[in-house]
Amino acid sequence: MSDSFTCPSCNTDGMRVFYEAERVPAHSVLLMPDRETAVNYPRGDIRLAFCPQCGFISNVVFDHNLHEYSDRYEETQGFSETFNTFSKKLATHLIDRYDLNGKDIIEIGCGKGEFLTLICELGNNHGVGFDPAYVSERSRVAPRDGVTFIQDFYSEKYADYAADFVCCKMTLEHIDQTDEFIGTVRRTTEGRPDTIVFFQIPDVRRVLRDIAFWDIYYEHCSYFSPGSLARLFRQHGFSILDLSTDYDDQYLMIEAKLDQEGGKHFPALEDDLDQLTQDVQYFTTEYPKVLEGWKNYLQDAKQSNKRVVLWGSGSKAVAFLTILGITDEIAYGVDINPHKHGTYLAGTGHEIVGPEFLRGYQPDIVIAMNPVYRQEIQRDLDRMGVSAELRTI
């Protein structure tokens, strides 16, 4: 296999691999009904390559045929008070900034539809959401007129769905042909120069600087920094209105529209290519040390007969367990989402239980897979009388 690859974002040659992981689960939030299914679920390889021209990072051996986005895909974070507070704050910000009142909204990759319904209710808007994993029976809000969900991938065949605001949250990282995809979004906005486009994705700078190997998994084939994201939008004729981070700097967000002013506004965050190059090198150097540190920590806990559980059974947990090769060092995955209870983590086959299970199990150590939920988790542990040490990754 070649050591140099063509960037799927800026289409230039010279991408170089800096991280590899073999035989990781192709899905990490697809519901696995039993341990055997979870352990034997199809796997793929990860070879992350960095583009020195635009800063984009991609899994250059990604195979989309391994994926199964269906009603078994359990991606929602809507059972968390912390996350719902963030979502309402974000929806309110967008409504206020762009006067989204009585407007037409499109959401690409709407999941279970929570955010689209929220922004439509708060602004009395009309919305259309696209996602093959949408399940109508799972809506946590009462159905309302003016909000429609299409259980399909967004593509060119839906280009005639015009909107005043196009939203795409935590979806672009799942798409390997990013240049082609943003081209489709561009064509959706043709003839509507006032249409606002909003994207939210993970910020790869945090992954690199925190050596967060648990945030690298097969579903995420595309990784952006502020600069690489802005450069992708600019090459398709968008002007960048805002570029920011939120949710403890985990989420990167861009607000854009078709260029009316010659692209003169360049947010400071966009100038990141030199620093990003250093971040990639830092990750490459420090990753083995962090991996060894976690292995030693969990082995010590096992030898001391300590009961360890993971709080959070999503993609982070699957990547954490898979890359570390964890078996009985950790007993269970814990999740507040009741739809996951009694299912199993892909790859390792750890059972997922609800928080109430810990009342009787009484773990010694709880590892929170996302530090942003630390206070919420601690409140639940205190409420249940669980005095375990709470450690965040």
Domain boundaries, the chain: 81-276
Cα–Cα distances in angstroms (integers) from residue 156 to residues 109, 110, 152, 206, in the given order:
14, 17, 12, 33
Q: Please give the Cα distance from 92 to 313 (Å, whole number).
A: 29
Residue 77 near residue 251 (C-beta atoms within 8 A): no
Cα–Cα distances in angstroms (integers) from residue 308 to residues 121, 256, 328, 365, in the given order:
42, 44, 9, 5
What is the 3-class SS of 185-204, one letter each residue? HHHHHCCCCCCEEEEEEEEH
pLDDT at 264: 56
Cα–Cα distances in angstroms (integers) from residue 232 to residues 53, 229, 316, in the given order:
12, 5, 27
pLDDT at 195: 96
Residue 228 near residue 54 (C-beta atoms within 8 A): yes
Residue 258 tokens read as: 């078709």
pLDDT at 86: 97
pLDDT at 145: 67
> What burial letters (b/e) apply to 117-131, b meaning 16+ CB within 10 Å?
bbbbbbbebbbbbbb
Q: Please give the Cα distance from 106 to 329 (Å, whole number).
A: 45
Give the CA diameter of the chain: 66
**What is the residue-level pLDDT of the chain in tens, covering all 393 positions?**
557 899 999 999 999 999 999 999 999 999 999 999 999 999 999 999 999 999 999 999 999 989 888 778 888 999 999 999 999 999 999 999 999 999 999 999 999 999 999 999 999 999 999 999 898 776 655 555 689 999 999 998 998 898 999 999 999 999 999 999 999 999 989 888 899 999 999 999 999 999 999 999 999 999 999 999 999 999 999 999 999 999 999 999 999 999 866 455 666 678 899 999 999 999 999 999 999 999 999 999 999 999 999 999 999 999 999 999 999 999 999 999 999 999 999 999 999 999 999 999 999 999 999 999 999 999 999 999 999 999 999
Assigned CATH for 81-276:
3.40.50.150
